[in-house]
Chains A and B, each alone.
Chain A
Amino acid sequence: AQKITQTQPGMFVQEKEAVTLDCTYDTSDPSYGLFWYKQPSSGEMIFLIYQGSYDQQNATEGRYSLNFQKARKSANLVISASQLGDSAMYFCAMREVRTGNQFYFGTGTSLTVIP
């Protein structure tokens, strides 16, 4: 079974609108972390936001927030007030504490912000 599933290969959003990128995960480890990365066309992988399995509050970092629904095993990334520079690939990832630090990445979602 896939550890991380991103079902949206491509998404479009109007500039200044909000967009939600979906991510579901599969684990039996009670202690895990969820991460989102951005990969612009220049190629670098940029860490955006983290959510821990025991965190009670949803994580936020500027215009990024993580909609964490533990029972549903989903960790959707919400980008508010989209900007042209947000056009990129976005990867969801998970780290299970039990497995000694292996990270699992999803297949990514390509986001295009339309002016």
Chain B
Amino acid sequence: DAGVIQSPRHEVTEMGQEVTLRCKPISGHNSLFWYRQTMMRGLELLIYFNNNVPIDDSGMPEDRFSAKMPNASFSTLKIQPSEPRDSAVYFCASSFRGDYSNQPQHFGDGTRLSIL
């Protein structure tokens, strides 16, 4: 079975450029999460979607960050304009949301983003 697929795996770009990270969740999963991980701040939840609808975006750092989920099989996280402090590993995770607690999140391999 295909897991969560993220692209690109690595991205190096100059500050001020637009960055788009992509995620394909596991088929059948109805919840999708975007995380950012840094040494200083650890693993931070940026935003999550249930049934393609954003539920909580309180973790999005500022207006430069935006996320969309146009359908059940695709999501993007966009940073515009990018800044060096945005350098981090960005993870996408998906899960099945039901009435029971036993569904884990499955993570993609992450996108390692470096803003010069």
Contact = CB atoms under 8 A, between A and B. Distances in A.
Given A101-B50, A107-B42, A108-B42, A47 B101 contact: no
B1 to A, nearest CB: 14
Contacts, number: 60
Main secondary structure on chain B at its contact with chain A? strand
A25 interface: no
Interface residues of B, number: 26
A35 B102 CA distance: 9
Interface SS of chain A: helix, strand, loop or mixed?
A: strand
Contact of B102 (A52, A91, A96): A52
Interface centre among B42, B50, B105 (most CB of A within 10 A): B105
Interface of B: 31, 33, 42-43, 45, 48, 50, 55-56, 89, 91, 93, 95, 97, 99-107, 109-110, 112
